[in-house]
Structure 1
Amino acid sequence: MAGDGPDRDAVLRAIRRGEGNFGKREIARLLKLKGDERIGLKRVLSALESEGVIQRTARRTYAVADASPGVRLVEIVDRDTDGELLARPEKSDPGDPLIRMAPGQGASGRAGGALGVGERALVKIERDQDGEPVARLIKRLGQSAHRILCVYRADGSRPRLVPVDRRSKNELIPSKDSPLSPKNGDLVICELAKDRQHGLKSGRIIEVVGNENEARASSVISLAAHGVPEGFNDNEIEQAEKAKPATVRNREDLRHLPLVTIDPEDARDFDDAVLAEPDEDPKNKNGWVVWVAIADVAHYVTPNSPLDRGALKRGNSVYMPDRVVPMLPERLSNDLCSLRPDEDRACMAARMVFNASGDKIGHTFHRGLMRSSARLTYAQAQAAFEGNPGPEAADVVTSTLQPLWKAYQAVKTARQRRSPLEIDSPERKVRVDEQGNVVSITRYERFAAHMLIEEFMIQANVCAAETLEQKRLPLIYRVHDEPSREKLTALADYLPQVGMKWSMSGPVKPERFNQLLSQARNRDYEEVVNEVVLRSQSQAIYSTENLGHFGLNLQRYAHFTSPIRRYADLTVHRGLIKACKLGDDGQTNEEASKLSGIAEDITHTERRAMAAERDSVDRYIASFLSDRVGSEFQGRITGVTRFGAFVRLAETGADGLAPVSSLGDDYFHHDEKAHALIGRRTGGRFELGQNVTVRLKEAAPITGGLILEILDKPKRGRPSGGGRGGPPHRGGGAPGRSGGGAGRKFDRKPRGKGKGGKPGRGGPRKGK
């Protein structure tokens, strides 16, 4: 950096990376500017702007003057009920909202003939009069390789293909050159044939993946719809079967340590074990030593081996209500790498030292052989912490659990001082029997034992990042950027609706969000404030550039604690092996050179898994509710859009859509700032957080969609005469976007473990 400010080229690179979304704060953070350097940044930005090199947007962000931040490559994937085309941006995440082409773009197209489903196009993203994103065609790019999952129907006069995606409203007909002959009810994957201007589109059937009437069809559909790879090739199986248990040779013998595993009740594999003991160093009075031992997956999955290539392709394990799609074969995930009690297991261990105030004052990494003393569930550990140990915990209460609890009390005070983001976003747990029937839908019960394990996993992850930085080895960080100015503006616009406020001039820190959440606690609007704060957050990703972790309020953070089911952790283990000279099977130069691309890939596979898991839960719940069509439920509005209100049912946590056409005898428009649908004539309002009674009108297990009717009258309000200068909406527009719900959590924690093919979605995930 120059003495009077940052280098101009560095600033330009940061602006280009932001694609029009970075303001001064984001640029300074990316360039790691502090103090006077931030003042220098202001001068550089002013100079670049006056020279016409950059321009400031309406949102007070910066864009390179010759760049087009709103230009995207898209695939045209469907039409809504009004006939307008729906597009999905390339490299978007599964489940991301579709973008509507601007009216008329599909009818005439450009450069000869109509633009149709199945084509690729270069478009410019704009906002319509209701603030919704729309795409305007710049250039058509020809046919895409878009594939779609459908149910084959042969129960009428002619066969048809019914898409399973709830956002797809139009059926297809099988093309004449389809090589397969499916049966009625089969789940098939199709390639879209050339779109016809009139009548139904056609699809070429290229694969049959199951039948809609099979047990557990909900998971089959979700996995296929999101392209989640299943199974292992012969080379992977061969390598896994040849693997032998590790011995103490070239390892530190840690079998004397009374480590224990604490996991969900239905876990089948155990990849982390913990232990705490008083620090005997007289210089650290009342301090603690905490061990976190993690399965040594790197011992078995070596760089560029068949197992390694397969694990990278999957990226992570995927957890459905009825099954687990594991990242590694069962020989490893449920056997050699599982820290089962009373069995010798290879491990990578972090030995962490905390002072009496809970601050970490030192750590080391060890590659050893351990022997778990007990396998406990969260409930069993919690009972022991409360002084009521069962027989499973009796032998380790004094040696492990009591000191573990005392160490946590110290570390918890340090966590409170750190003040990470504390959003309350309950998760649903769907239990499924052997026949694929839903037997219960409950909220995860969260104990102090969960938080104990989570905090020690977080501390071990911090140690991993710190060590690799100190040793100057490249690594994949888990990063979580601070909220964008656009999202903070939306939060500030909404909070006055519930008598709260957010100042845009104040510092953006997790502590400020926690103050908001505390103010809302035990109020009628507590849930909705949690909801809007959650929606204001960025989503965590993997990156070789350290942006810190905003949600955890940490400067550096990397995933280390779940290598059985996350590829990111495996790369970190290999880095530590090399950095700490713990073996010759650590990070290679080839892997180090590819870490940036790996980070992109595993961010995508993680999003893919999250979308598949979410859709599977939705489909199982829709199946569960399908025989209760016509019943009434209590719910709460969790989202509003131009085409209706999304309502979360209190009984099951399921989200359904109440179409705008069903809201009453008025023309409703979407007020984006108020998060409300407002009647033009009466001023009646349906708004975010509003409690409502609804009737279930439709439940579709194949798509996971629920259609609801709100039985309550809208809240009284003042007539507004339309929204944002545009026409009001009454019915019509199709839900061409995935919607509703609380949005995604800002980070993903590993699910409770499970054996491949068996129920294993056990409780809140460990680590952020």
Structure 2
Amino acid sequence: MTGSVDRDPLRTLLLETVIAAHQPLSLSELETAADSGGFDSTMVRKRLQGLCESGILAALRGQRYGRTRDLDLIIGRVDAHVDGYGFVLPDDGSTDLYLSPRQMRRVLHDDRVLARVRRIDGQGRREGVIVDLLGCSTSTILGYFQSDGAGGFVTPQDERIAQEIHVKAGDQGGARNGQLVVAELTGHPFSGRHVVARITEIVGAQSGPGLVTEIAIRKHQLPWQWPDAVAEELAQIAAQGAEAAGQAHADLSDLPFVTIDGSDARDFDDAVFAQREKGGYRLFVAIADVSHFVKPGSVLDRCAVERGNSAYFPDRVIPMLPEVLSTDLCSLRPHKRRLAVVCEMVLDDRGGVISWRFTESVICSKLRLTYAAVGAYIDNAGSASSAGWPVVVRQSLDTLIEIYQLLAVARKCHGGVNFEFPQARIEYADDGTIEALSVEARNEATRLIEECMLVANVCAARTLNEHLSEAIYRIHEAPALEDVTDLRRILSGFGLKLRGGSAPTAADFAGVVSQAQAKTRAQVTDTLQVLMLRAMKQARYAAQPQPHFALGFAHYTHFTSPIRRYPDLMVHRLLKVVIGLSTGPTGCEKPGTCAEVADHCSVTDRRAEEATREVLGLLKAQFMRRYIGEEFDGLISGVTAFGVFVQLPQFLVDGLVHISELGDDYFHFDPERLQLTGERSGQRIALGDPLRVQVAGVRPDLGQIDFQPVGRQAGGRGLRAGRKSRKSAASVQDNDRPKPGTRGAGAGKRRAKKRQGAR
């Protein structure tokens, strides 16, 4: 019998020692055991790190190590609830672990922890205890300061943090009672002592215009301040000038480029121009040449990658780049010579791309047009407002309209799906208070620019894929079978059918949208689109090309918005190297760097989206205070065990009708179809049902709106809302324009029974 050779005897020795002990062992105990085999301390630490990273061992406090399986340990993130309890959301995707209020006093929301299952109840639900703190979620807390004569304490603005934050004498930072402050933690509750902090910033009073945004910026830890070194770099760039071009820059300033953006846009990333040619078209998409000014490794570059993207709030923008660049030197302002990277495409008479090339160019936008003006031009086949536009601009627009229509048809044939939602728009008075809440619908001009950006992004992605083993791509994976199955159950309640078997394509989803538009009201179609969106995965950045499911592209990237997205800036640098326009560094020379940037920017993208969505929700609640007691016709947009959410179409706000307000009946919640059925009446309440409501109350600090039903009860066909999701139309479709917006989309099922009944 031939014996086998242990390829890693130290690893085996450490594992056997821990298993034999039946309890966690200290580092010194493991070093002693390894010393007998001739292994030194450095080797022991390296093997232990590998065993912990693989999940076989768990590193505990006091430099102790135990086998994860023996300890029944779970690694995950804490999800706190405002009522004091919480959950551990396991990294491995297994069932949540309930944490009692006593356990929650030892941790903060979003901490990473090592937990152990304490007991399992008769229904298989797990309750746990915290074994160790693996990572703190935050180093700062936002809250309201109150002096106690010596020091004071901070009451967290985030109600999921139940602990009071103690401030020692001398650490108040000049804060006065009631002021909103930022406190830097100097002690964590896991140690068994009070949470201690020192005040590092005074944000302001408890109320006032702009405070909601200020809170969100700090709560989501969005970088918003520029280091002093940025001013020096900006001065050097300003001295260089906005049009300081090298010999490689082609002069395209005579071409009638125009920008088409929202009426309140200040940073102009892109300009377009098109002309007819024999047998087809020539389309030019000019994108601001940010990479000419922001060099890898510079202070500006480090700030840009930290931010990852610009964050667009209703009342302000947190730009990825300082305004000197984003709204001036890099921005394609009208009648200003500006540097651009131009994607020049030759299209056939069906909108197919025959060839393309990228060039460094100098352009001069001839007009700054808006979606509204161009939309009117398209709808009216030329409108009075266009009378002052140069003839060459109108000729280019006519050609762009033809190209847009061809591109849209071609993409639909190739299998893309468009989810279109109206957007809520906050309008402010001069004093900074909310004046109105309106609804903005997309128009043909928005779609025209989107199609132009999409085709340029595809050309960029194909170029990168042909020449580089690693780059930056935007990918969107196909939905999971479980989510598709759930969605089909929902759609069947509306007489809609999702084709494609276990692997439906984007074209199959587009077919459902068409069915819904033909069979249901516009508001119901919007709700159904939200449900389809939730069934899909989130789009993300990656270093390797993969298909983009929703758009129907084999390869896709973000090239067209380098002023506001760092991945686009990286793509510009990589393209310049590929096409021989640059020999300088890209920031991706080291293998794996593109993957790191892609992962980081996926996180910052979601961070900004969550922050802006939260602000919009809070501002909607503020706005609805003026309507308390008034009645509106709404549409049920979400169904839960504790009631239904109703959307008011004229404002795009969602409010809760608690289950106790639905009538003198006992309503059963169907978690499969997400509908409520009255035990005595048999009344069924489902998504899409109309319901007249009265605004009963508002919690602006939480973004909550409470409704009461008026008149007849809700009732209709059943429909499941699907899992609660933070996805937005932009995160899945990547339509590139308009700049990021959000809207609420109802509510779905909770992750565990203990969460039901909590808002």
Band of TM-score, shorter chain? 0.7 to 0.9
Deviation at 1:712, TM superposition (A): 6.0
Q: After alignment, is 308-317 or 420-429 more displaced?
A: 420-429
**1:46 corresponds to:** none
Q: Distance in 1 between matches of 2:412 and 2:347?
A: 15
Letter of the structure 2 residue corresponding to residue 387 of structure 1:
G
Write the deviation string for residues 363-415 of structure 1: whole angstroms up to 9, x where unpaired.
Answer: 01111111112211122223344222524523434442222223333333322
| Among candidates 429, 433, 437, match of residue 429 of structure 2 | 433
**2:136 corresponds to:** 144
**1:702 corresponds to:** 701
* Aligned residues of 1:151 and 1:163 also touching (Cα < 8 A): yes
If asked which structure has higher relative contact order (CA below 8 Å, sep 6+), I would say: 1
Q: After alignment, is 574-583 or 244-253 more displaced?
A: 244-253
2:323 corresponds to 1:327: no
Query: Structure 1's 553 and 384: CA in aligned 2 closer, same or farther, altered over 3 A?
Result: same
Letter of the structure 2 residue corresponding to residue 457 of structure 1:
M
* Aligned residues of 2:146 and 2:177 also touching (Cα < 8 A): yes
* Aligned residues of 1:106 and 1:115 also touching (Cα < 8 A): no
1:442-453 superposed matches below 5 A? 442-453=438-449
* Aligned residues of 1:353 and 1:363 also touching (Cα < 8 A): yes
SS at match of 2:386: coil
Deviation at 1:77, TM superposition (A): 5.7
1:665-676 superposed matches below 5 A? 665-676=664-675
**1:599 corresponds to:** 598
Aligned length: 655
Q: Distance in 2 between matches of 1:706 and 1:425?
A: 21
SS at match of 1:478: strand
2:534 corresponds to 1:535: yes
| Among candidates 384, 391, 406, match of residue 410 of structure 1 | 406
Deviation at 1:239, TM superposition (A): 0.9
Write the deviation string for residues 139-190 of structure 1: whole angstroms up to 9, x where unpaired.
Answer: 433683544433346899x98755444x638573645568225334422234
Query: Structure 1's 155 and 599: CA in aligned 2 closer, same or farther, altered over 3 A?
Result: same
* Aligned residues of 2:691 and 2:713 also touching (Cα < 8 A): no
Deviation at 1:316, TM superposition (A): 0.4
**1:513 corresponds to:** 509
Q: After alignment, is 565-574 or 329-338 more displaced?
A: 329-338
1:259-298 superposed matches below 5 A? 259-279=257-277, 285-298=278-291
Query: Structure 1's 461 and 591: CA in aligned 2 closer, same or farther, altered over 3 A?
Result: farther
**1:480 corresponds to:** 476
Query: Structure 1's 131 and 577: CA in aligned 2 closer, same or farther, altered over 3 A?
Result: farther
**2:490 corresponds to:** 494
Letter of the structure 2 residue corresponding to residue 264 of structure 1:
G
Query: Structure 1's 626 and 423: CA in aligned 2 closer, same or farther, altered over 3 A?
Result: same
Q: Distance in 1 between matches of 2:376 and 2:716?
A: 51
Normalising to structure 1: TM-score of the pair?
0.76
Query: Structure 1's 521 and 145: CA in aligned 2 closer, same or farther, altered over 3 A?
Result: closer
SS at match of 2:732: coil
SS at match of 1:256: coil
Deviation at 1:675, TM superposition (A): 1.6
**2:676 corresponds to:** 677
Q: Distance in 2 between matches of 1:130 and 1:258?
A: 72
**2:164 corresponds to:** 172
Letter of the structure 2 residue corresponding to residue 172 of structure 1:
E
Query: Structure 1's 436 and 154: CA in aligned 2 closer, same or farther, altered over 3 A?
Result: farther
SS at match of 1:367: strand
**1:366 corresponds to:** 359
Deviation at 1:607, TM superposition (A): 0.5
Q: Distance in 2 between matches of 1:604 and 1:179?
A: 33
Letter of the structure 1 residue corresponding to residue 563 of structure 2:
I
SS at match of 1:498: coil
Q: Distance in 2 between matches of 1:699 and 1:304?
A: 48
| Among candidates 237, 241, 255, match of residue 235 of structure 2 | 241
Q: Distance in 2 between matches of 1:574 and 1:622?
A: 43
Deviation at 1:600, TM superposition (A): 0.7
Letter of the structure 2 residue corresponding to residue 705 of structure 1:
Q
Q: After alignment, is 298-307 or 621-630 more displaced?
A: 621-630
2:418 corresponds to 1:422: yes
Write the deviation string for residues 657-716 of structure 1: whole angstroms up to 9, x where unpaired.
Answer: 333444444444432221223445654433222222233333222332223334466556
Deviation at 1:574, TM superposition (A): 0.3
SS at match of 2:309: coil
Query: Structure 1's 407 and 644: CA in aligned 2 closer, same or farther, altered over 3 A?
Result: same
Q: Distance in 2 between matches of 1:548 and 1:132?
A: 39
Query: Any gaps of 5 or more consecutive residues in structure 2?
Result: 1-67, 744-759
* Aligned residues of 2:251 and 2:361 also touching (Cα < 8 A): yes
CA RMSD in angstroms, aligned pairs only: 4.0
Q: After alignment, is 682-691 or 194-203 more displaced?
A: 194-203
Query: Structure 1's 363 and 335: CA in aligned 2 closer, same or farther, altered over 3 A?
Result: same
Deviation at 1:313, TM superposition (A): 0.2
Q: Distance in 2 between matches of 1:644 and 1:242?
A: 59
Deviation at 1:133, TM superposition (A): 9.4
Query: Structure 1's 238 and 714: CA in aligned 2 closer, same or farther, altered over 3 A?
Result: same
Deviation at 1:508, TM superposition (A): 1.2
Deviation at 1:271, TM superposition (A): 1.4
Q: Distance in 1 between matches of 2:125 and 2:370?
A: 47
**1:229 corresponds to:** 223
Query: Structure 1's 748 and 431: CA in aligned 2 closer, same or farther, altered over 3 A?
Result: farther
Deviation at 1:439, TM superposition (A): 1.8
Q: After alignment, is 598-607 or 249-258 more displaced?
A: 249-258
Letter of the structure 1 residue corresponding to residue 560 of structure 2:
T
Write the deviation string for residues 256-315 of structure 1: whole angstroms up to 9, x where unpaired.
Answer: 222111111111121111111122xxxxx4210100010100000001111110000000
SS at match of 2:100: helix
Query: Structure 1's 494 and 617: CA in aligned 2 closer, same or farther, altered over 3 A?
Result: same
SS at match of 2:575: helix
Write the deviation string for residues 337-370 of structure 1: whole angstroms up to 9, x where unpaired.
Answer: 0111221111100010110111111101111111
SS at match of 1:421: coil
Query: Any gaps of 5 or more consecutive residues in structure 1?
Result: 1-65, 93-98, 280-284, 724-736, 754-759, 764-768
1:289-688 superposed matches below 5 A? 289-385=282-378, 386-388=381-383, 389-502=385-498, 505=501, 507-522=503-518, 523-524=520-521, 525-585=524-584, 587-590=586-589, 593-680=592-679, 682-688=681-687
| Among candidates 205, 211, 214, match of residue 211 of structure 1 | 205
Query: Structure 1's 355 and 582: CA in aligned 2 closer, same or farther, altered over 3 A?
Result: same
Query: Structure 1's 396 and 476: CA in aligned 2 closer, same or farther, altered over 3 A?
Result: same
**2:54 corresponds to:** none
Letter of the structure 1 residue corresponding to residue 376 of structure 2:
A
Query: Structure 1's 495 and 77: CA in aligned 2 closer, same or farther, altered over 3 A?
Result: closer
Q: Distance in 1 between matches of 2:114 and 2:663?
A: 39
Q: Distance in 2 between matches of 1:236 and 1:363?
A: 36
Identical amino acids, percent of aligned pairs: 33
**2:255 corresponds to:** 257
Q: Distance in 1 between matches of 2:382 and 2:82?
A: 59
Letter of the structure 2 residue corresponding to residue 210 of structure 1:
G
Q: Distance in 2 between matches of 1:495 and 1:177?
A: 61
* Aligned residues of 1:294 and 1:562 also touching (Cα < 8 A): yes
Letter of the structure 1 residue corresponding to residue 615 of structure 2:
S
Query: Structure 1's 194 and 310: CA in aligned 2 closer, same or farther, altered over 3 A?
Result: closer
